[in-house]
Structure 1
Amino acid sequence: MKMTRKAAWTCVAACCLLSGCHKEQGDAKNETSTKAERKGSADEVTLSPQVQSEEKVQIAPVELGTAAATQRAKGRIVLPDNATWRVGVLAEGRVEKVYFNLGDSVKKGQVLARMHSHDVHEARAAYANALAERSRLQAAEALAQKNYDRSQRLYTLKAESVSQTEMAKQELVNAQSATREADNIVRREATHLEETLGLRADASADSSDDADLIPIKAPASGRILQKAVTPGATISPSTDAFVIGDLRHLWMLASVDTTTLSKLRLGQTVTVTLPDVPEATYAGKITNLGQEFDPVTRLMQVRIEVRNPDTRLRPEMLASAEFITGDGMPTVLVPQEALQQVNGEDVVFVRLASDLFRVQTVQIGENVHGKVRILQGLNPGEQVITHGSFIAKSQLLKSSIGD
């Protein structure tokens, strides 16, 4: 009987041990399941209230705003005809000195280069001859004046006839006329030297080594966009030595179809953007609606004047123009800082619970009053992370690496 009780107690103990083992295994499974639930799916991120507070994460509801209907057109940046200067010369010669290079900023009147020309020697010789001839004629005029004065005195003394006095007077008039003509020739030769060739007429007043080198000057302030001269190069009046452009004012030629063209007007404001620099936006104004359609593309080139205060725009850059072509319409808007890029897609983080957020892929549109238009992926009223969305992105990437 004692042996029977002992065996019974042994069985009870064994059952308890087995029951305990099963309970521990069950608790372990429950704990694993709980952890899996906490971890969530791959498109969810957990941010504890403490992390949100420390990182100053801000959450705001998605707004329903108003955006005007717009159309985009591609095009390119070009130099305007009225802000481009081609710098040439009026005489043939050889370039001796060049002071500026491509991309340099210049001011109106600055000397860009200097050249030697045989025209300078011919012009100086002509000017010297004109001076000598004027001196000779001035001396002849002085003599004619002296003779006329003498003739008048003799006529008063009845020692000379009227005809002789009139002849002396006529000789004085002729001498004065010749002197005036000589003055005109001197001024003409001086003008040719100073205004046409850019040299001082009085060579003795300029003792520098460049006194006989023709200066090539900038006709306006701007930036050197083309340069076709180097020291030793021969240049002629048919050559453009430099091309200067004012990059603060440029044109964009935007290619638009007939539907878009019918909704545009002269003077309409336009937003110009660069595809490679998303944050760069420029204000523009339509100044010409084009003349004829391209027979191949069936597109019209609309001319837009663009202000370029930071001079980041350059001729021949590709650009996009955004035209307002309709009235305002309801649209979903979020702050720019709410957007992040994950795997090449634009995403926001939508709040599911106080510490749980879902990665939501969205399709974005244009900027509207400092916010981004959401074309697809969000509904008004949903709460998204605005400030601090990069914290959620970092947590998402860490979770992906951990997996």
Structure 2
Amino acid sequence: MDGDAVQAEGLQTAILHHGSAKAEVQAMATVMEDGAHSVTIRPAGDGKVSAVSVLPGQHVRAGQPLVSYIDHTLHIVQLQLAQAKADHASAKARLADASLSYRRGQELSGMTVSRGEVARRLAALQESQNAVRYQDAAIATLTHRLEEEFTSPTEKIVEDEKSVLIAPFDGVVTQINTAVDNDIGPTDIIARLTSPTSVWIVALVRPDDAARVEVGADIRFSPLGSAEANVAKVQTVEGTADPETGLIRVVATFSDSQKTLRPGTQLTAWLPVGETVKGFVVPTSALQRVDGHMVVYRRIASDTFQPVPVKLLLEGPEQTVVAGEIKEGDDIVTKGSFTLKAMALLSGLGGD
């Protein structure tokens, strides 16, 4: 085959190297939300929804309003705080009077004021001091509730009794479970938000295969019908099979910085099982069967290719580990080997 023919047929070669691979099993898989990067959003108090600002599937930024509501619980706490501040002012006024009365009693003790009266005034002073401390604690408690309970990464106070549920991070709204004028409370899940930059790849495998999958291993996956594969890392292999299918879930995480995968997308996954096999790693497409033997084509000149019999040590959908009369550094045809096989069969030249 001359140089023009090689170029016309699109033949490609690669230098052969030693490598290793593990056996793989193919399984159906699904993209799911990463539970560690998802959050359910609940209101801090009881109230009524005044506005819904987003829709399911919408991308939102951190701090963006999701749902606004009139928080009746917040209003009650604010009234309690106002009352506590008023009581605190009254307690401080009584403390000032008691303190002045006690000092005068000390100055006049034994003359116009009896010692018993001084003791009574001291008790009144101490009672007033305790009343101020009590009101200080009440104000601190209510202020803490406002700052911690009604203000959080998922909620903020707008004004008075108006509160808004907000996005705690950049993400995608997956659920909105309310509408305008609905009554809501702290037990209600109002919205759910997930980060699209990290997803779970959940593969369903047979129990005997699951037993050979290791946590921390890399699995390959691709959307159905796609030839391009991505790699995810196994985080857990569940210990219980699904009673309906008899299959076990293998959960892997994938950092999807391009945000191309959507929960629910169906995938094909390849999970590594068994021992590592060492040999020469070649693309599976480089292998051809000739006269009952598996061969690869080695370039021995710019326009000459020689079939070399090899033994399959581990066959995979994309890469295969082989051994045979090949060596490190050989120039092996990786694309176009079928063309060489067809030309050899037609010409009867044995593939040379």
| Fold conserved between structures, TM > 0.5 | yes
Cα distance in 1 for partners of 2:14, 2:126 equals: 99
Q: 1:176 to 1:291 in 2, by over 3 A?
A: same
Where 2:116 maps in the other structure, the secondary structure is helix
Counterpart of 2:214, as a letter, is R
- Equivalent residues of 2:60, 2:167 under 8 A apart: no
Aligned to 1:123, the other structure's residue is in SS state: helix
Once residues 184 and 385 of structure 1 are traced to their aligned partners in structure 2, the CA distance between those partners, rounded to angstroms, is 78
Determine whether 1:150 maps to 2:110: no
Rate the CA distance shift 1:241–1:152 in 2: closer, same or farther, 3 A: same
Larger Cα Rg: Structure 1 or Structure 2? 1
Partner of 1:395: none
Q: CA deviation at 1:92?
A: 2.6
Is residue 289 of structure 1 aligned with residue 237 of structure 2? yes
Identity %: 19
Equivalent in the alignment of 1:271: 220
Q: What code does the residue aligned with 2:178 have?
A: V
Contact between 1:274 and 1:281, CA under 8 Å: does it hold in 2?
no
Question: Partners of 1:386 and 1:211 in 2: how far apart?
Answer: 71
* Matched-pair contact (CA < 8 Å) for 2:71–2:163: yes
Matched-pair contact (CA < 8 Å) for 2:27–2:203: yes
**Structure 1 letter corresponding to 2:61:** V
CA–CA separation in structure 2 for the residues paired with 1:141 and 1:61: 92
Partners of 1:111 and 1:217 within 8 A in 2: yes
How many angstroms apart in 2 are the aligned matches of 1:329 and 1:183?
74
Q: Does 1:95 align with 2:49?
A: yes
Cα 1:383–1:135 shift into 2, 3 Å: closer
2:193 aligned counterpart, secondary structure: strand
Shift of 1:127: 1.9
Bigger share in strand? 2
- Greater fraction helix: 1
Mapped contact 1:89–1:236 kept (Cα < 8 A): yes
Cross-structure match for 2:294: none
Q: 1:143 to 1:49 in 2, by over 3 A?
A: same
Residue type at the aligned position of 2:43: V
Alignment of 1:236-275 (within 5 A): 236-275=185-224
Q: Secondary structure at the match of 2:26?
A: strand
Matched-pair contact (CA < 8 Å) for 2:220–2:232: yes
Unmatched runs of 5 consecutive residues or more in structure 2: 288-296, 305-314, 339-352
Q: Which residue of the partner structure matches residue 346 of structure 2?
A: none
- Residue 163 in 1 paired to residue 112 in 2? no
Counterpart check, 1:125 vs 2:76: no
* Residues 1:179 and 1:193: Cα distance change in structure 2 (over 3 Å): same
CA contact (8 A) 2:172 2:193 kept: yes
- Tell me, which stretches of 5 or more residues in structure 1 are unaligned? 1-46, 200-205, 340-348, 356-363, 390-403
- CA root-mean-square deviation: 4.1
| Residue number among 201, 224, 234 corresponding to 2:173 in the alignment | 224
After superposition, give the CA deviation of every residue in 1:102-144 in whole Å (9 maximum; x if it has no partner). 331332x554332113334333322221121111111111100
Is 1:172 the counterpart of 2:125? The answer is yes
Residue matched to 1:366: 317
Give a deviation string over 1:141-188, Cα, whole Å, max 9, x none.
110011011111112x74322222111111000001011111222222
C-alpha distance in 2 between matches for 1:333 and 1:274: 24
Residue aligning to 2:60: 105
Cα 1:60–1:174 change in 2 (3 A) is closer
**Contact 1:197 1:215 (C-alpha < 8 Å) held by counterparts:** no
Aligned length: 307
Identify if the C-alpha distance between structure 1 residues 182 and 335 changes in structure 2 by more than 3 Å, giving closer, same or farther. same
